[in-house]
Amino acid sequence: MKRLSTSRLKNGHGATVSPPDGLNFPGLIRTAGTIPAGMSLLMSVLSSVLLSVLIPGALFAEGVNSASEKQTPPPFPLAVEGGVLPVLDASPGREEILRSIGRGVNFLIERQNKNGSWGSAHRSKGLDLYAPGSSHAAFRAGTSSLALSALIEVRAASLRDDEPLDLVGMGIEPGKIDNAIERGEWWLLEMLPDLRRSSVDCLYNVWGHAYGIECLGRMLEHRPGDGERTARIRDLIVRQVEMLRKCETIYGGWFYYDDGGFARPAETTACFVSATGLLALKKAEDHGIEIPRKMVDTTVASIIRQRNPDFSYLYGEYLKSQPRMPINRPAGSLGRSQACNLALRKWGGHGVTEEIMENWLKRFFGRNGWLDIGRKRPIPHESWFSIAGYFFYYGQYHAALCIEELPESKRNIYRPYLAETLVRLQEQDGSWWDFPLYDYHQQYGTAFAVLSLLKTIPRPQSE
């Protein structure tokens, strides 16, 4: 499946959207009594044409302003409505969460490949995701980056001064996790420089570049004192940023397919791919890496163009003429809105207020069942609201990051919901997975879950 097929999505229809507050057109919109006889129809047609041209232009102009400048947005009343948290009867305590993390870490250690990577092209199910050229190198790079990130985060949490995690008490052998991290770092530093466009029509490599940058940033934080190693990592981050620049579409942002086959991708973008790239670029910038401002601005603009008034996001910009298709509605956007809101907020705000982030967390946990219905289904987008299984743990992870953006006083409202979901869904072997993807799904799903659970651990005295 090369993209979401509109022929498989039923009941799509357009929606009439009123102009945003502050966009008025004096002299164009009049009452019938002010228009001379015989001119009413003509003025109505002209008004419609000008509105259809000027309103998108005004919205696009907002999107391409420098992402570093926080703007005062118009009110978005729909974006702060509809979020209701369900009643949570019970949530896992600190020890249960720690045991769950420990089992996930041990799974990742056991499933690490001999060369230090994670995942493979094996375990075909006879109905596999389109994977031409070097697609599996991209899958392996993205999966390995996530798995290594999870191990680094756990190890770092055990070394911190404030309430360090007890690895042994979690069932993790310190020597084994250190060995796995060392082997994973070696593989990433050796292989990530060779990651390229998967094929003429396929750019899965953007996931490898984005998650690779985030993992390299964590590697810098984990062992900051090694000068030669630090220089090598920083150089590789710069090269991965350049690869993202080369893979950026002519419209700004990224997509993982390009039917045109041009050197510069000519496909419109998918908001969640662009959001993932922006979050990686922010991680790089946090470590002092210079990020091309034009790339950020055009990517931000592409996401804003896909944003609905309620802050649900289109699956891709190619669906802009069908904003009320099921996949573009709030339930269909649950796995995307968290990442898109976070990326826009990180790069200047762009209307994403704390109130909006909270409302979408309430929507997320209130309707997490829509994502769960799609979990483990073998065909992408076959579930309600055309949700694909691979959005499940992606969505949980970015919900965890959104929770971290809130004030500490509000984080504990949402952490129990995330912890309850993840601990309950852990498999008997310690893994998590949401979509059968060759032999990558358990590894990336487990990595997402461990990274998310780390942000839900209650303080010891809170039990």
**349-374: pLDDT as tens digits:** 899 999 999 999 999 999 998 899 99
Mean pLDDT of 260-269: 88
Mean pLDDT of 150-161: 96
**389-408: pLDDT as tens digits:** 999 999 999 999 999 999 99
Q: Is 80 exceeded by the pLDDT of residue 287?
A: yes
Q: Which of 336, 213, 179, 176 lies closest to 269 in space, CA to CA?
A: 336
- For residue 348, the model assigns a pLDDT of 93
Average pLDDT, the chain: 85
Considering the entire predicted model, what is its pTM? 0.83
What sign for the dihedral angle of Cα 34, 40, 46, 47?
Answer: positive
pLDDT confidence of 17, banded at 50, 70, 90? very low
Domains along the chain with CATH numbers:
63-462 (1.50.10.20)
- For residue 298, the model assigns a pLDDT of 97
- For residue 70, the model assigns a pLDDT of 53
Scored b (16 or more CB within 10 A) or e, 168-197 reads: eebebeeebbeebbebbbebbbebbeebbb
Amino acid at 285: E
- For residue 225, the model assigns a pLDDT of 78
For the chain, give the longest Cα–Cα distance: 87
Q: Is 90 exceeded by the pLDDT of residue 4?
A: no
pLDDT confidence of 56, banded at 50, 70, 90? very low
pLDDT confidence of 261, banded at 50, 70, 90? confident
Q: CA separation (Å) from 177 to 49, 93, 181, 221, 224?
A: 62, 24, 6, 17, 19
Structure tokens at 215: 């993992």
**265-281: pLDDT as tens digits:** 998 999 999 999 999 99
Q: Give CA–CA dist 357/405, Å, rounded.
A: 9
User: How open is the CA angle 241-245-250, to the nearest 5 degrees?
Assistant: 160
Q: Are the CB atoms for 269 and 199 separated by under 8 Å?
A: no
Q: Is 80 exceeded by the pLDDT of residue 11?
A: no
Mean pLDDT of 19-37: 31
Pick from 6-10, 14-18, 321-325, 417-421 the range whose average pLDDT is largest: 417-421
- Name the percent of the chain lying above pLDDT 70: 83
**72-125: pLDDT as tens digits:** 555 577 788 888 898 988 899 999 999 999 999 999 999 999 999 999 999 887
10 Å Cβ neighbour count for 237? 25
- Name the percent of the chain lying above pLDDT 90: 72
Mean pLDDT of 39-44: 41
Q: Which of 210, 294, 291 lies closest to 255 in space, CA to CA?
A: 210
E-strand spans in 206-249?
A: none
CA atoms within 13 A on the CB side of 176: 14
Which residues make beta-bridge pairs with 313? 307
The tokens 């994973």 sit on which residue? 184
What sign for the dihedral angle of Cα 77, 307, 392, 8?
Answer: positive
Pick the range with the lowest mean pLDDT from 38-47, 119-128, 168-177. 38-47
Q: Give CA–CA dist 334/456, Å, rounded.
A: 20
